[in-house]
Structure 1
Amino acid sequence: MSSKVAPFLSAISARRSIYALKPELPSNIGIKDVQETVQTIIKETPTSFNSQTNRALILTGDVHKKVWDSVLNSIEGDSGKKRPTSIRDEAYGTVVFLVNDETTKAFQEQFPIYASYFPPFAEHSTGAAQISSWTALELLGLGAHLQHYNDAVKAALPAGTVPDTWSVHAQLVFGAPVAPATEKTYIENPVKILE
């Protein structure tokens, strides 16, 4: 394997869901480091027709706590409250991934032959931004895990934060890791070469 690709593959292989967090950043990392990392990934993640539909917000402090408290209170019964409670109380912040659906609609109208493809294209691109951001934040020394309380998070964001035409697609919760991730197991899934 080429030595040029080895660090990249190592980072991808090391990325894990780390749920045991504390609400702080590692001593050598500031929130600006997180912001610059996510900003670069949002900018550089490819989008169909260069539509640039990806958006992101970073929630910290009181806003982070208020949003997750609202998500927690929107869940009926007790069985689904464990994760939002731990996010509210134990995480430092959240990267909220969004898609500008107005841009997707404009491309559907401009290129009607591809209209049905643009929504999945946007999904693919936001997924790429999420995984890249997750991997990068873990390279910074943070622990993180990806969640999908999409409608509840959008409803909980402070009024006027995002346009109605933006949809929430995921939340990358982060903080200082308290414990490593659990061991990951793999299925046999070889990539074949067809000649």
Structure 2
Amino acid sequence: MLDKLKKRRTQYALGKNLPISETQVDALIRDAIRLSPSSFNSQSSRAVVLFGKESDKFWNIASEALRAVVPAADFQATSKKLDSFASGAGTVLFYEDQEPVKALQANFPLYAHNFPIWSEHSTGMAQLAVWTALADAGIGASLQHYHPLVDADVAKTWNIPASWELKAQMPFGSNEAGFAEKTFIDDELRFRTHR
């Protein structure tokens, strides 16, 4: 497993040449999310997988949403970044369905305040699982957060249920550049082991 995690890196130089078919990518994403843990087995994670023109449509929505809030003098840099995401083969939109979260809150009131937090844990694990699975298949990706700016237009465009909350967006595609060496902070700053 650790060898697979080592492959997971942020890739901004994306292309449209996937090493496996779109059908295989879709199945890989579904399996990764399906196998991700969730509190009380709530299975609250949801995903919308966009390929090709549908993915482009998402990044156009993001571009227009950001154009409304980013100063004109700064928009060129923003636009360039968004174009790099749109250069990929697709995008995964990660959601958390609030209906199972609310049901757990009602059924287990003692833990009610924790279920939204645990839902965030679930989406994080689903995102890592998908990202790692994509990397292991030779597919580059990065994790982006353009919500809530895009939420309403995205929900309307793809008929997203009202109970689904957008949590992250993952553009993916072929790796069109290599990776710099990954660096780490000192272990002493991150870990403590007691025996």
| TM-score relative to the length of structure 2 | 0.89
Matched residue, 2:136: 139
What displacement does 1:105 show?
1.1
C-alpha displacement of 1:21: 1.0
Counterpart selection for 1:30 from 21, 36, 41: 21
Q: How do 1:70-89 and structure 2 match up within 5 A?
A: 70-75=61-66, 76-77=70-71, 78=75, 79-88=77-86
CA RMSD of aligned residues (A): 1.5
Cα distance, 1:166 vs structure 2: 0.4
State the distance in 2 between where 1:129 and 1:18 align. 18
Whole-Å Cα distance in 1 between the matches of residues 53 and 13 of structure 2? 20
Matched, 1:111 2:108: yes
Q: Hey, what's the Cα distance between the residues in 2 that align with 1:96 and 1:142?
A: 17
- SS class of match (1:152): coil
Q: CA deviation at 1:53?
A: 0.3
116-125 vs 154-163, greater mean Cα deviation = 154-163
Give a deviation string over 1:133-186, Cα, whole Å, max 9, x none: 101101111111111112234333254521111001111110111111222211
CA distance, structure 1, for counterparts of residue 169 and residue 182 of structure 2: 22
Gap regions ≥5 residues in structure 2: none
Q: How many aligned residue pairs are there? A: 185
Q: Could you tell me which residue of structure 1 aligns to residue 122 of structure 2?
A: 125
Equivalent residues of 2:139, 2:175 under 8 A apart: yes
SS in 2 for 1:147: coil
Where does residue 194 of structure 2 map in the other structure?
A: 194
The match for 1:13 is 6
CA contact (8 A) 1:68 1:153 kept: no
Which secondary structure state, in structure 1, belongs to the residue aligned with residue 165 of structure 2?
strand
Amino acid at match of 1:85: D
More helix by share: 2
Who is 1:53 aligned against?
44
Any conservation in 2 of the 1:153–1:168 contact (CA below 8 Å)?
A: no
Q: How far apart are the structure 2 equivalents of 1:105 and 1:134?
A: 28
The alignment-based identity, stated in percent, is 38
* CA distance in structure 2 between the partners assigned to 1:13 and 1:39 by the alignment: 22
Aligned equivalents of 2:144, 2:62: Cα separation in 1: 12
Aligned to 2:99: 102
Give the structure-1-normalised TM-score.
0.89
